[in-house]
Amino acid sequence: MKIRISYVITLAFIALFTYFYRQDGAIATSVVYTAIQFALPLALAAMVGVMCERTGIVNIGIEGTMLLSAFTAFFVGAILKDTIKGLIAGVLTGVIVGLLLALMAVSWKMDQIIAGVIINILAAGLTSFLYRQNYSIPSTLSPIDLPIIGTWPIIGPILSFHGPITYFGIVFIIGLWIALYRTPWGLRSRAVGEHPSSADTAGVSVTKLRYLNVTIAGAIGGLAGAYLSLEAVGIFERGFTAGKGFTALAIMIFGRWNPMGAFAAALFFGLAQAVTNQLMIDEVVKIPPQFINMLPYVLTIIILALSAGKVRPPAAEGIPYEKEKT
């Protein structure tokens, strides 16, 4: 019987969780609950990466997308005193940034890394310049008490009482996974990312598909940003996203460009942060706060060091497609 690493890890997790649950049920479930909260923006951002890179576009600008979307989501929500309108604004911002990236990468055939860095710098510059203090949104997006699942023991406190973006996000991730491997759109998108001329000669429009995917991905990035400022906490600060967009790229690589793999990696990340948080609160381990701050970044590098080089990204990613080069 083939022993898959993922099964081993899952079993290990269940075993550890059972052990801790016996010690203190409330804390154990709250740690996993928090893990999901930490993981979700990373998972969504990783989906942005997956959608773009599978179609052959390297998207370094996820960080900037999230920052800009968190910004507009927050300020539109605060000015219009309507959190929902803020959410829409955030998603729309993501769409616009996605279109910009598509324009730069597909039509202008710019170097995609530069394009992404420009988006990040533009986002930082814009949000810095337009930032104003003393704004607040009426309320964060209210958590939802799941009807049936919420009453189950153990699973209930973990899965229930998250915000709407969280649930939508989870559904989207599963949907993306299904769509990528079982629909024509998925097959064509993957083909475009691996060997675009094959898709082209089969009658698939490489340009249109790349534009479509990058724009939708932008919307998801916008959603992730809106999650940060509207659902997780109800604030926005300069430099709010703190590198999450880059961690998401590492998660995407670690998850082998597979939506479910990336989701699992994001959950792992979230769990690491939640556990560390809990250890801090309990003062089990006395670590200087700066090292706690460092943890996600160090983890990211470790994950990359372990997985990169052994993984194969979509073969055609980063290379602008030119028709007459067949």
Provide the binding-site residues for another protein, judged by CB under 8 A.
58, 60, 104, 108-115, 117-118, 121-122, 124-126, 128-129, 131, 182-184, 187-188, 190-191, 194-195, 197-204, 242-243, 246-247, 249-250, 253, 288, 290-291, 293-294, 297-298, 300-301, 304-305, 308-309, 311-313, 315, 317-319, 323-324, 326
Listed residue (116, 161, 117) closest to 142, CA to CA: 161
**Whole-number minimum distance, CB 223 to another protein, in Å?**
22
DSSP per position, 85-98: HHHHHHHHHHHHHH
Task: Tell me whether residue 283 or residue 324 sits nearer to another protein (CB atom).
Answer: 324
Task: Tell me whether residue 275 or residue 299 sits nearer to another protein (CB atom).
Answer: 299
**Whole-number minimum distance, CB 51 to another protein, in Å?**
16
Listed residue (153, 156, 128, 171) closest to 40, CA to CA: 171
Task: Tell me whether residue 18 or residue 201 sits nearer to another protein (CB atom).
Answer: 201
Distance of CA 123 to the CA centre of its chain: 17
Distances from the Cα of 224 to the Cαs of 37, 45, 154, 232, in angstroms? Answer: 12, 6, 27, 10
Task: Tell me whether residue 117 or residue 279 sits nearer to another protein (CB atom).
Answer: 117
**Whole-number minimum distance, CB 6 to another protein, in Å?**
21
Identity of the amino acid at 40: L
Task: Tell me whether residue 81 or residue 109 sits nearer to another protein (CB atom).
Answer: 109
Phi and psi, residue 82, nearest 5°: -145, 110
**Whole-number minimum distance, CB 58 to another protein, in Å?**
5
- Phi-psi group of 312: left, alpha or beta (phi > 0 → left; psi -120 to 50 → alpha; rest → beta): beta
Task: Tell me whether residue 14 or residue 113 sits nearer to another protein (CB atom).
Answer: 113
Q: Which residue has the tokens 């990035």?
A: 221
Listed residue (116, 58, 93, 129) closest to 229, CA to CA: 93
Q: Which two tokens stand for residue 140?
A: 């964060």
**Whole-number minimum distance, CB 109 to another protein, in Å?**
8
**Whole-number minimum distance, CB 179 to another protein, in Å?**
9
**Whole-number minimum distance, CB 289 to another protein, in Å?**
8
**Whole-number minimum distance, CB 253 to another protein, in Å?**
6
- Phi-psi group of 319: left, alpha or beta (phi > 0 → left; psi -120 to 50 → alpha; rest → beta): beta
Task: Tell me whether residue 28 or residue 100 sits nearer to another protein (CB atom).
Answer: 100
Task: Tell me whether residue 40 or residue 191 sits nearer to another protein (CB atom).
Answer: 191
- Count of helices and strands (H, E) across the chain: 13, 0
Q: Which residue has the tokens 């699973």?
A: 155
